[in-house]
Amino acid sequence: MKKFTPLLILCIVFFASCSAPISVEEEEALYTEETVGKSVNLMLSDNEEALFAMVNNHRVSVGLPELELNKAIYNLAKSHNEFMIKEDALSHTNFELRANEVAKLTKATSVSENVARKYNMLSDCLEGWLASPSHKNTIEGDFTHATLSIVQDAGGELYFTQIFYKL
C-alpha cells in the first residue's frame, strides 16, 4: 500500500529506489495516450468484476460506502501488472508515476494502491490484503473510486493491482 502525497514525491525524487531494475523512463513509456484513459468502454473480466465486488462487499460490511469503478484508469493498473510480470517481482515501483497520472486524469486528491501475486483464488487475495494492516487500511480508506486489473503470466500465475483514489 502506498499513499500519494507531495512529500512522498519529493522523497522519491531525492532517493533512488533500490528495487527498480527498470528505469523510470521505461515504465513511464508504458503510460502513453494509447494506453491510458482510452479504456472507458472496457469490459472487466469476470475475475476482476468478482474481486472488485468482494472489496466493495467488505467495505459495506464495515459501514463504508462502495467504491465507484473507474475504467478510464484501468490501463495504469494493467500496465503495472505487466511490469511486475516482466520483473517477476511484487512491487510498488514507480507508484508516483501512476499516482500522478491518476490525479491528472481524474482530479484525485489522494491515491493509493494494493498489489498481490500468485493467489489462485480471488478470496485468498482479498484475505491476504485484509490480513495486512497497510493493505486493509487502503481497502477501508477514505476513497471514492477504484479500478482493478488481474493479469495472468505465462506460467498461469495471477498478478493483481487495485488503484484507489478520492475526488
In the block, residue with C-alpha cell 512491487 = 91
Q: Tell me which residue of 89, 70, 74 sits closest to 31, measured CA to CA.
A: 74
In terms of Cα–Cα distance, which of 147, 111, 130 is closest to 39?
A: 147
The position carrying cell 508516483 is 96
Question: What local confidence, expressed as pLDDT, does residue 3 receive?
Answer: 52
Quote the pTM value.
Answer: 0.76
State the architecture of 50-166 in CATH terms: 3-Layer(aba) Sandwich (3.40)
- Integer Cα distance of 117 and 88 in angstroms: 10
pLDDT value at residue 44? 81
- Across the chain, which has 167 residues, the per-10-residue mean pLDDT values are 43 34 47 45 83 98 97 92 93 91 93 95 97 97 96 95 96
pLDDT at 56: 98
Enumerate the domain spans of the chain.
50-166
Report yes or no: 66 and 143 within 8 Å, Cβ to Cβ: no
Predicted local confidence at residue 151, as pLDDT: 95
